Amino acid sequence: MARAPRLTESAGAVFAVLAEAGSATRPQLATLAGLSKPTVSSAVAELEGVRLAAHSGTSSGGTGRTAAVYRLGPAAGSVLAVDLGPALTRVRGCALDGTLLAEATGSRAGAADVVREALDALPDDAPLRTIVVAVGDVTAPGERGTGMRPATAKAGPVFDAVAVALPPGVPVHLENNVNCAALAELHEGAARGRHTFGYLRIGVGIGLGIVVGGRVLRGANGAAGELARLPYPWADGSEPRHEALEDYMGARSLLRRAAEIWQKTDGPCPRTTDRLLALAGKGSAPARAVLDRHAVDVGRLAAAVIAVLDPGLVVLGGSTGADPRLLPGVRAEVERLSWPTEVVSSTVGDLGTVVGAARLAVARGVQTVTEAARVKD
């Protein structure tokens, strides 16, 4: 990994706002960075000198005067985001202004090859600044360096398999996949404009992304939102089992419940949740019954979340949770059990995790450059 050049503090500040803006004139940079125009001019010249900024044209003002427009230069570099999903691996490579440079999708079993495909598509002259890997597991708070593994055995093996494809010397940061998806909903999805909400994912497993004040709440152990650890079942004569709630709410149990009530006259029993949802949409009575029961269960789980967090908004995501056919039943159960809370379906879809991971990667990539700004002006 190419080291970022050492910068003055003003150059670091201008680089950060230029990365956020994508492109800007020097007067705009002065306003955004809160610096004087002469200081910004000096900072831009410094950034151009080390190819962290580049001239990209001119802009005409209302008075007819033109101003030079700047963007990030080739030396600013790129970042990589990897979503190690339960079935698919999705990878995105981005410039530090968020521009998409490369993407690849493939099976979980071939995760390393998917990562290599995306890496090969990145520009040769854009040094890789950082990598964020989203895993379906607990990740400890703070940064993780290359070679670190997820906190439990859930995602350890697949992370180890993909780690061999990651370039040596580039910082690798692990993040929980639900937290990444929650960030995508915050910036680009159903929670845009909201600063506090819960992102409830229901799919192969279950999880909760908690956003408070525009930031993801991770908890003392990095395990905030691990709904799988809620005691279940919780009733007289029942002993809670490890992650039993996830077993009950997850996709496999949903399909098993469908199989238990399916009759030969109903046609072929669905073997995937996508098929089950499609049949429910076509009016299949047993599929609809299973889905209605699932909506009640999701609604009760959402009510538990609301009782603890009072987030004002719950976004339903995941391969089954985001299906709009689930929404009315969930809303009805929340209304029955809890105080008024808005419940909506995810709008970022299956790409939410990799989109959120890319946002984190861009932020960390910018940080690697601006942290070199330690020289006083």
Q: 166: burial class by Cβ within 10 Å (0-12, 13-18, 19+)?
A: buried
Helices (H) and strands (E) in the chain, counts: 12, 15
DSSP string, 347-377: SSGGGHHHHHHHHHHHHHHHHHHHTTEEE--
Write out pLDDT tens, residues 177-236: 999 999 999 999 999 999 999 999 999 999 999 999 999 999 888 889 999 999 999 888
Report the percent of the chain where pLDDT is more than 70: 92
More confident: 329 or 1? 329
Beta strands in the chain (DSSP E): 7-8, 23-25, 53-60, 66-72, 78-84, 88-95, 100-107, 128-135, 172-176, 197-202, 206-212, 215-216, 313-317, 342-345, 373-375
Whose CA is closest to 26, among 10, 41, 15, 13? 41
Number of neighbouring beta carbons within 10 Å of residue 6: 12
Q: 86: burial class by Cβ within 10 Å (0-12, 13-18, 19+)?
A: middle
State residue 280's pLDDT score: 94
Four-point Cα dihedral 182, 186, 188, 193, nearest 10: 160
Q: Please tell me the least confidently modeled range out of 23-37, 110-124, 144-158.
A: 144-158
Assess contact for 115 and 166: CB atoms under 8 A. yes
Number of neighbouring beta carbons within 10 Å of residue 264: 7
Instruction: Please name the residue that has the structure tokens 């940080």.
Output: 367
Amino acid at 269: C
Instruction: Please name the residue that has the structure tokens 């709630």.
Output: 245
Tokens linked to 55: 């001239």
pLDDT, mean of residues 55-74: 80
Q: What mean pLDDT is reported for the chain?
A: 90
pLDDT, mean of residues 296-303: 98
Tokens linked to 126: 């854009």
Tokens linked to 364: 């960390």
Write out pLDDT tens, residues 141-183: 544 444 355 655 566 777 877 888 889 889 999 899 999 999 9
Q: Rounded to an integer, what distance in angstroms lies between the CA atom of residue 356 and that of residue 362?
A: 10
What is the three-class DSSP state of 214?
coil
pLDDT, mean of residues 268-291: 95
Q: Is residue 63 scored above 70 in pLDDT?
A: no
State residue 144's pLDDT score: 42
Q: Is residue 325 scored above 70 in pLDDT?
A: yes
State residue 158's pLDDT score: 76
Assess contact for 73 and 47: CB atoms under 8 A. yes
Four-point Cα dihedral 342, 181, 251, 315, nearest 10: 0
Residue 304 makes CB contacts below 8 A (sequence gap 6+) with: 230
State residue 183's pLDDT score: 96
State residue 227's pLDDT score: 95
State residue 153's pLDDT score: 59
pLDDT, mean of residues 263-284: 94
Return the bridge partners of 55, or none: 70
Instruction: Please name the residue that has the structure tokens 């690849």.
Output: 104
**pTM for the full predicted model:** 0.89
